[in-house]
Chain A
Amino acid sequence: QKEVEQDPGPLSVPEGAIVSLNCTYSNSAFQYFMWYRQYSRKGPELLMYTYSSGNKEDGRFTAQVDKSSKYISLFIRDSQPSDSATYLCAIPNQAGTALIFGKGTTLSVSS
């Protein structure tokens, strides 16, 4: 089993929809979880990070961690065409020396 699994999509939604993006991970020792957004032909940019279980909200974005299920989610409310990008979950390895990325989910929001 890969350390971080993410459904690559693509995911297509109409403007205004609520989007749910998900990753699972295998190592229960992971403590720190991140979501990056990557526009086409650009580097990833950090969207959100969280240390613990529960929800963290930032504007239209909510990151959720369920450590008991080893499941992390990113919710986007009122999705906009500008949200069209690839979303990567990332978890630092136990040594903290590398980020383990999911493959990314490509999201397309149509107006």
Chain B
Amino acid sequence: DAMVIQNPRYQVTQFGKPVTLSCSQTLNHNVMYWYQQKSSQAPKLLFHYYDKDFNNEADTPDNFQSRRPNTSFCFLDIRSPGLGDAAMYLCATSPRVQETQYFGPGTRLLVL
């Protein structure tokens, strides 16, 4: 089945220790998104790629970076995680912008 896969499902890191979250998709969609969702809050868009074009949301902290080496994979790098970065990180894809987004299961990040 075509899908959006996120690894790992759970990630524990230490305060200040860089961490990378992974997303892959078999849908061959052009657009990939990263959202941050804190407990009982709506998902908040961090950035998205349209093909190789990177689009950062204005209020995304510099601590968050992303890479998309090819159509299938997209990575979220958190350079120096703080306690406030503990959240669920959701990857989503869509064929084009303005089209329905399909979400992966999320990676729950815990910062100690």
The chain A residues found within 8 Å of chain B, CB to CB, are: 4, 8, 32, 34, 36, 41-46, 49, 88, 92, 95-99, 101-104
Contacts and interface: CB of A to CB of B under 8 A. Distances in A.
Given A32-B98, A96-B97, A43 B106 contact: yes
A22 to B, nearest CB: 15
Contact of B57 (A49, A98, A101, A104): A98
A43 B40 contact: no
Given A44-B90, A98-B48, A103 B104 contact: no
A43 B42 contact: no
A107 B64 CA distance: 33
B42 A104 contact: yes
Contact of B43 (A44, A45, A46, A92): A44
A103 B90 contact: no
Nearest to A95: B97
Interface of B: 4, 6, 33, 40-43, 45, 48, 55, 57, 88, 90, 92, 97-98, 100-106, 108
B37 to A, nearest CB: 9
Given A32-B98, A36-B103, A46-B100, 16 more contacts: A8-B40, A34-B100, A41-B88, A43-B104, A44-B103, A45-B103, A46-B101, A49-B100, A96-B98, A97-B55, A97-B97, A99-B45, A99-B101, A101-B42, A101-B43, A104-B42
Contacts of A102: 42
Contacts of B102: 46
A73 B104 CA distance: 25
A57 B103 CA distance: 23
Contact of A103 (B4, B42, B105, B106): B42
Contacts of B98: 32, 92, 96
A49 B101 CA distance: 11
B95 to A, nearest CB: 12
Contacts of A104: 40, 42
Contact of A41 (B55, B57, B108): B108
Contacts of A46: 100-102
